[in-house]
Amino acid sequence: MFWLGTGLYRAAFFAGALAGCCGQFPVIGGAGALQAADDLTVSALTADEQRVLQTIEVGDVLATVSFLASDELAGRDTPSKELEIASAYVASRFRGAGLEGLAANGSFYQVQEMPRFFAPDGPVSLVTAASPQGLAGCVAVGGGDAAVELRGPVSADAAGRELRGAIVVVDEPPLPPAAAENPAVAGLSVARRVAPLAARGAAAVLIRTTDSGVLSAAVQRLRAEAVALPQQLSLPVVLIPADADLAGELQLSVPPRRRESEQVRNVAAVLRGADPGLSAEAIIITAHLDHIGRAAGDRQGDVIFNGADDNATGVTAVVTLAEAFGRLQPRPARSVVFMTFWGEEKGLLGSKAYCEQPLWPLEKTVANVNIEMIGRPEEGAAEKMWGTGWTRSSLGPQLAAGAKRAGVEVFHREDVSEMLYARSDNYSFVQKGVIAHSFSAGSLHQDYHQLTDEYTRLNLPHMTRIIQGLFAGTLPLARGELTPTKSPAAR
């Protein structure tokens, strides 16, 4: 959830930006936060809607989430056979709900090619004034699509400084100790550190490391075990000794990264709207299906990152909502698209690919409701959920107005709402001009991205109530009763 190098809140929490790391968050909300929702007029649930809402039950939620988070699915890494199995399961649930496949020829699968990149195979050469024969101990983490030869002085990373064509040196980014045993986590963290430098024009990045550091150990495993790198790591990135003398002109030679490709698939289905005019418009309800797979290296005992809360809970909500909407008589006026994405944990890749090749016209996409981590409520926040980027549109207050009919509160969480707006699959839609927000009903907890994120630790009654709230909250949008608009600042 919320891709921040390795998912939900990663950068903020390890930097200590939010109070109470691995503890409780303050709940921002209450009556004041729902004032805008209280101002909205939403029809009461019909008898049929109330009937369908009551079919969303704890037992069914448990059956779904326990399968998605089972050891047999091995953490649903992208790409993996287990992720394919999970996507087939989602498709079968959509099919059973009476939905149509949205992809070509009525398929439920939007098949795409996922490029995979690996650390350069060849040696790195870094010649300095102090080491005219080449600096020892240099290891390439990332590389471009072609070999790179650079010459010039090194530049430090200074805020706002022009870096076009520069060789930039930075210190080792802080990493959790667990990253040494999961090099994919380290690769994502390095990508996050390097991305803003690349955006400012850096041609290569040198990272000072120590032999005893977490990054050094992780990169050794990354190279030895042929772990794929994030796609964003698309320029030469080289680890160098922490005490390397970089005075004077440098000559840097880095071989290209190695590239492979594998097929991956989003799962997409549609419930066609009943209104001849409004059925051309769609609400898209989404969640990412992938997690981070298995722990790397030789280990004893549990090695599977089950990803129960992140994000088997969100996918459970999507398939449960698909079934609920499929039971409605009559159908909603607007069409409702249900979709799960691959590759969120790798950098929102599945949603980005969808938005480049949408199966429903983006200009006819009324809103995207993206669901993330709804199974572990904070203290005092049972049966409540919050939305990212709350002030960017009226979607949050409109969802809140509908959800309160099911006794679920949707509120503006001021501490993280804006920070996380661009960190999940909703943002792929935002970048294409679509109103899109992620909705969560939990927090960072000690099991996040750990081997202990198991379905047995979920609060299933809370999760079930949140899904009921999502159903009641999205109904006014699907019925055509409400239409979200962007805030003036977001237009």
Domain boundary among 203, 234, 256: 256
Q: Are residues 105 and 157 in the same domain?
A: no
Burial of 161 (0-12, 13-18, 19+ CB in 10 A): exposed
Contacts of 191-198 with CB under 8 Å at 24 or more apart are 191/5, 191/142, 191/229, 191/230, 191/232, 191/233, 191/347, 192/4, 192/5, 192/11, 194/142, 194/232, 194/233, 194/235, 194/237, 195/232, 197/157, 197/163, 197/168, 197/170, 198/232, 198/234, 198/235
Q: Are residues 71 and 134 in the same domain?
A: no
| Helix (H) or strand (E) segment spanning residue 29 | none
What's the half-sphere exposure (Cβ side, CA atoms, 13 Å) at 269? Answer: 24
- Residue 232 pLDDT > 80, yes or no? no
- Residue 28 pLDDT > 50, yes or no? no
Q: Are residues 95 and 124 in the same domain?
A: no
Q: Are residues 245 and 268 in the same domain?
A: no
Q: Are residues 75 and 171 in the same domain?
A: no
Domain count for the chain? 2
pLDDT, one tens digit per residue, over 333-353 is 999 999 999 999 988 999 999
Q: Are residues 236 and 185 in the same domain?
A: yes
Task: Read off the CATH number of the domain in which 187 is found.
Answer: 3.50.30.30
Q: How far is the C-alpha of 148 from the C-alpha of 301, rounded, in Å?
A: 43
pLDDT of residue 20: 33
pLDDT, one tens digit per residue, over 411-420 is 999 999 999 9
Q: Are residues 396 and 480 in the same domain?
A: yes
Q: How far is the C-alpha of 438 from the C-alpha of 290, rounded, in Å?
A: 16
Write down the mean pLDDT value for the chain: 89
Domain boundary among 256, 279, 309: 256
Residue range(s) defining the domain that contains residue 228: 120-256
Q: Are residues 248 and 299 in the same domain?
A: no
pLDDT class for 16, splitting at 50, 70, 90?
A: very low
pLDDT of residue 40: 87
In a domain, 3, yes or no: no
Domain boundary among 212, 234, 256: 256
Q: Are residues 151 and 276 in the same domain?
A: no
In a domain, 5, yes or no: no
Q: Are residues 247 and 365 in the same domain?
A: no
In a domain, 432, yes or no: yes
Task: Read off the CATH number of the domain in which 369 is found.
Answer: 3.40.630.10
In a domain, 336, yes or no: yes
pLDDT, one tens digit per residue, over 186-228 is 888 888 899 999 999 999 999 999 988 889 888 888 888 888 8
Q: Are residues 430 and 463 in the same domain?
A: yes
Q: Are residues 403 and 457 in the same domain?
A: yes
Q: How far is the C-alpha of 320 from the C-alpha of 471, rounded, in Å?
A: 9
- pTM of the full predicted structure? 0.82
